[in-house]
């Protein structure tokens, strides 16, 4: 079986992302985490920094690899001959956004299927944007991010 892809901007990676990645691995056996540059968002960390943070946060985890892509998810999936992407859902807002993304991904690559995983209750309110704002104002976000991310923000 080919790995499933879990994609996102991961700016920064949160414990909610880590939970979804591990749950996807439990279902599909292997996960490729793909970091994308989201032109609609102001990035705090470069793509290279986000890849490194994910690799550190997932160190020792079997059957999980981290990659990056500058373009469209559908193009990445085609290039690597992957056919399944997993997306996390926290709210109805996520559902509406992700359905639209799934529609266009399938239009660009008809073999692509999107599987949605709901965020667990512990992490359903975590967003990278909210955490970046909290750090800007001096808040301690260590309960919601891996230790490597907490260290990166302190730099």
Stated length of the chain: 155
The Cα–Cα gap between 102 and 87 comes to 9
Which of 9, 23, 128, 132 is labelled catalytic?
A: 128
In the residue annotation, 128 being an active-site residue is answered as yes
Which of 2, 41, 59, 151 is labelled catalytic?
A: 41
In the residue annotation, 90 being an active-site residue is answered as yes
116, containing H or E segment: strand 113-118
Which of 37, 44, 78, 90 is labelled catalytic?
A: 90
The Cα–Cα gap between 125 and 5 comes to 23
Residue 102's Cβ-count burial label (10 Å; 0-12, 13-18, 19+) is middle
The Cα–Cα gap between 21 and 7 comes to 10
Which of 7, 9, 17, 50 is labelled catalytic?
A: 17
| Catalytic positions | 17, 41, 90, 128
């Amino acid at each position: 079986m080919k790995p499933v892809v879990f994609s996102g901007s991961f700016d920064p990676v949160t414990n909610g992302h880590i939970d979804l990645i591990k749950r996807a691995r439990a279902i599909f056996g292997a996960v490729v985490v793909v970091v994308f540059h989201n032109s609609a968002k102001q990035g705090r960390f470069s793509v290279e920094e986000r890849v490194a943070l994910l690799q550190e946060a997932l160190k020792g985890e079997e059957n999980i690899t981290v990659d990056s892509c500058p373009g469209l998810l559908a193009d990445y999936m085609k290039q690597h001959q992957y056919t399944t992407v997993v997306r996390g859902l926290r709210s109805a807002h996520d559902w509406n956004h992700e359905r639209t993304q799934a529609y266009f991904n399938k239009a660009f690559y008809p073999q692509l299927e999107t599987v949605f995983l709901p965020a667990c209750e512990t992490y359903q309110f975590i967003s990278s944007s909210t955490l970046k704002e909290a750090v800007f104002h001096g808040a301690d976000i260590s309960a919601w991010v891996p230790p490597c991310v907490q260290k990166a923000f302190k730099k």
